[in-house]
Structure 1
Amino acid sequence: MSALPAKPGLRHSVSEWYSNNHQLSETAQHERHVSNVIRQEGRSLRNETNCQTTWDERDTSRRLRDRTWDVARCKEALEACAQKVDQEMEALTLTKEQTEQALAATAVPLEVSSECLTLRDGRRGYELVVDPVDEQLKREVELIEKVQQVLQQHIDKSFEQLCVLQEARHQLTADLQNKMDALDIDMSCLSLTIKSPQISLKTNPTRIPSGSSTPQEWIQFSQYNMANAQEAMQVSYQMREEMSLTRAQLQNELDTQRRAAEFALRKRNHHEEQARDELEWQIKNTEDEMAEMESDIQGLDADLQAKTASLKLAHTRLENRTNRPGMDLCRDEVQHGLVNEIHQLEATNTALKQKLSEAQLSCPLRCSHSSLLILGTGF
């Protein structure tokens, strides 16, 4: 027995069929409308995002160009400041070398003045006097030592200032190198496009790197470095002016003192030459007087010898007349004359001997004084 066909499913009415078809049509129409709206919104969004992306890219490029211009201007300012620092360092180094040369130039005058004092200490006797030459030479030595101390202080200060300038130059160099690196990076970023092969997605590119600074801090940092360098250069300039002025003033003082010492020495030499001429004149007169005294001593001695012979004659005559006999032994005028002659000759001999003794005693004194005069002339 064959099986009966299965019963069809739930049957719908014609109205339900129309209603279902109408619903399907409305649903399809709604879906198409929604799709159309989405498509229109998508197209609008694409247009807006394309415009926004293009604008953002161009705005970013503009900002990069502005930033590179700012960095380039700042780099130029740093380079100009660094160049001025280099020039100031060269000028200060030159001034320092000139001051060192001035300090070295005082060594010989100091040795000369000290040697002069040492040599003058070798004077003997009454020539070892404290005269104006000694005073001027001692003042010159003290002044040179003071000048050396002042110049050395300036040299030390200039060396310290060179270190300050070097540190400022180092800060400028570091800042300048950072500006150059940043400029290279920004220029590289400016050259990138969407077709560049170097571009790629990065992990968290919007993060804020550690050590980041604000634009105000960025410009203030460079301004501080340049201001610090300007201040160091100003101090260096004032120091150079002060060193040049001090060198000129000290040189004038040294020249003035040198001329004063030379004048005192010339004046002293003139006085010594006058004293020497006076002593030489005294020596000549003393020697002449000694020669005359020697001649007079010889004359006195000759007269004494002659008077002794006359005395012998008178003694002999008087003694021989004592041998007269008898009444002829008369104390006549001859007798009285011989006695008076003997007394006169004895008095004369006594006077001659006394004067000869005085003359002989005065000769050693004159010789001694003449020796002192000769020593006084320095011969």
Structure 2
Amino acid sequence: MATLIGKPGLRQSVSDWDTSNKQMSDIAEHWRNISHETRQDGRVLRNETTCKTHWDEVNSSRRLSDRIWDLSRWRDTLESCAQEVDKEMDALTLGKEQTERALAATVDPLEVTVECLTLREGRFGNELVNDPVEAQLQTEVKVIDRAQRVLQQNNDKAFEQLCLLQERRQQLTLDLQNKIEAQDIDLSCLSLNVTSADISLKPNPLRIPTGSTTPQQWAQFSQFNVSRAQEDMLASLQLREEMSVTRAQLQNELEAQRIATEFAIRKRTHQLKQAHNEMLWQLKSTQDEISNMESDIRSLEDDLEAKMAPLKLVHTRLENRTKRPGVDLCKDEVQHGLVEEAKQLEANILLLKQKLAQNQHSLQVLQQHHARLGEDLSHKQDALSLEQRSLDIRSRLTSAPFTDSSLGVVVPLTNSSGRHKLELA
């Protein structure tokens, strides 16, 4: 009978075996519990991260929606402000064109006034006087010159204000275009989801781009652009009102001066007509007096001629009686009578000659004055003709040198983008 021989080695007891088995069971249960807890924690973490991811995405979408709404609100504000700037630029351009037409309308009145002044320099003699017409015409030149200077100043101010509004319009346009681009980007971001084909991981997505601004700076920038545009529009409105009031005031001044000048010309024309008629009467009366004087001179000359025969007779008688002989050569009554007759005739002839000389002198004076009257009448006729020509020249002027009634088509300035109105894409 064979003998059984066991394997050599250290053998454990049953109790050790039981203990070992229990220990293995306990360890297995312990790691199973740990594994279970780990799995439960993983499930909780998955649920939490899933919820967190979902709500973060929802919140990000909400914030994008809010941002898009803010951008849309600012777009509306900027677009509305830009449209108001365009309207104000149109209105100011219209006011500037009205002022330019008003300035151009002062050229003819100035030319007419200067032409009248030059024309009246053609007066001669006593008619070349510094009368009220001269003073009114010179005043009219000053009024027109002042109106031109004021209107030109308004034109310059309007041009500068238009340039300023154009600059504000460009700033609004640039800001609005940036808002449109930013809104398009945010709308594109809002349209993305986890299933979108064009999403991917990006290198360093958390970087802060250079030139980033805070939300406060972002809002302040647009608000600053809008505020400056509104301030410039208010200044433009005030300038337009000032230009309109200035045009009306200058219109009234020019019209009042035109009426005063034409009244002075008509009054002077009436005075010249009266003086002309007076000179005509004086000329006719002087001519009549000259005719009468010439007739009287001829009568005096005839009377003088008629006195020569009696004088010759008396002289002959006296001479012949000096030949009486002896005592018959006496101073008788005949001698005395002839002597007295001779003296009387000589005295009468002397008086007649003196009167003739006096009449001839008066005739010469009358003829000279008649010539002066004729010359003065000619000057008055020329002056009257010049005044009438002045009125004819001034008939080219209308009662309103410049008004806003005839308005042309206004071509507004374009904005920085080359379009008058900014259309949103």
**Common fold, TM-score beyond 0.5?**
yes
- Residue 115 of structure 2 aligns with which residue? 115
State the secondary structure of the residue aligned to 2:352: helix
Counterpart residue type for residue 69 of structure 1: W
In 2: Cα distance, 1:172 partner to 1:121 partner: 61
- Residue 281 of structure 2 aligns with which residue? 281
Query: How far apart are 1:372 and its partner, in Å?
Result: 1.4
Query: How far apart are 1:327 and its partner, in Å?
Result: 6.9
In 2: Cα distance, 1:20 partner to 1:283 partner: 169
Query: How far apart are 1:282 and its partner, in Å?
Result: 0.9
In 2: Cα distance, 1:372 partner to 1:83 partner: 77
- Residue 216 of structure 2 aligns with which residue? 216
- Residue 55 of structure 1 aligns with which residue? 55
> Which range is displaced more, 259-268 or 176-185?
259-268
In 1: Cα distance, 2:77 partner to 2:294 partner: 102
- Residue 150 of structure 2 aligns with which residue? 150
In 2: Cα distance, 1:180 partner to 1:67 partner: 12
CA spacing shift, 1:136–1:8, aligned 2, 3 Å: farther
> Which range is displaced more, 177-186 or 207-216?
207-216
Are 2:277 and 1:270 aligned? no
Deviations along 1:69-88, whole A, 9 cap, x unmatched? 11101100110010000000
Name the structure with the higher helix share: 1
- Identical residues among aligned pairs (%): 61
State the secondary structure of the residue aligned to 1:198: coil
In 1: Cα distance, 2:235 partner to 2:336 partner: 119
In 1: Cα distance, 2:365 partner to 2:276 partner: 21
- Residue 180 of structure 1 aligns with which residue? 180
> Which range is displaced more, 126-135 or 140-149?
126-135
Query: How far apart are 1:34 and its partner, in Å?
Result: 1.9
Query: How far apart are 1:339 and its partner, in Å?
Result: 3.1
Query: How far apart are 1:256 and its partner, in Å?
Result: 1.3
> Which range is displaced more, 94-103 or 310-319?
310-319
> Which range is displaced more, 348-357 or 359-368?
359-368
Query: How far apart are 1:202 and its partner, in Å?
Result: 1.0
**Count of paired positions:** 375
In 1: Cα distance, 2:130 partner to 2:110 partner: 20
- Residue 251 of structure 1 aligns with which residue? 251
- Residue 190 of structure 2 aligns with which residue? 190
Query: How far apart are 1:68 and its partner, in Å?
Result: 0.7
The 5 Å alignment of 1:34-45 reads 34-45=34-45
- Residue 85 of structure 1 aligns with which residue? 85
In 1: Cα distance, 2:160 partner to 2:102 partner: 19
In 1: Cα distance, 2:241 partner to 2:320 partner: 115
In 2: Cα distance, 1:207 partner to 1:74 partner: 27
Task: Please list every run of 5 or more consecutive structure 1 residues that lacks an aligned counterpart in the other structure.
Answer: none
Counterpart residue type for residue 217 of structure 2: E
In 1: Cα distance, 2:334 partner to 2:200 partner: 170
Counterpart residue type for residue 46 of structure 2: R
Query: How far apart are 1:328 and its partner, in Å?
Result: 6.5
Query: How far apart are 1:19 and its partner, in Å?
Result: 2.8
- Residue 231 of structure 2 aligns with which residue? 231
State the secondary structure of the residue aligned to 1:193: coil
State the secondary structure of the residue aligned to 2:211: coil
Deviations along 1:149-191, whole A, 9 cap, x unmatched? 2111111111111122111111111110110000100000011
> Which range is displaced more, 48-57 or 357-366?
357-366
CA spacing shift, 1:8–1:301, aligned 2, 3 Å: farther
- Residue 24 of structure 1 aligns with which residue? 24
Query: How far apart are 1:43 and its partner, in Å?
Result: 1.6
In 2: Cα distance, 1:86 partner to 1:8 partner: 110
Higher RCO (CA < 8 A, seq sep 6+): 2
> Which range is displaced more, 200-209 or 187-196?
200-209
- Residue 101 of structure 1 aligns with which residue? 101
Query: How far apart are 1:331 and its partner, in Å?
Result: 5.4
In 2: Cα distance, 1:287 partner to 1:11 partner: 185
In 2: Cα distance, 1:313 partner to 1:107 partner: 88
> Which range is displaced more, 17-26 or 367-376?
17-26
Query: How far apart are 1:54 and its partner, in Å?
Result: 1.4
Query: How far apart are 1:330 and its partner, in Å?
Result: 6.4
Counterpart residue type for residue 90 of structure 1: D
In 2: Cα distance, 1:332 partner to 1:357 partner: 37
In 2: Cα distance, 1:8 partner to 1:274 partner: 172
In 2: Cα distance, 1:261 partner to 1:157 partner: 32
- Residue 295 of structure 1 aligns with which residue? 295
State the secondary structure of the residue aligned to 1:212: coil
State the secondary structure of the residue aligned to 1:89: helix
Counterpart residue type for residue 150 of structure 1: V
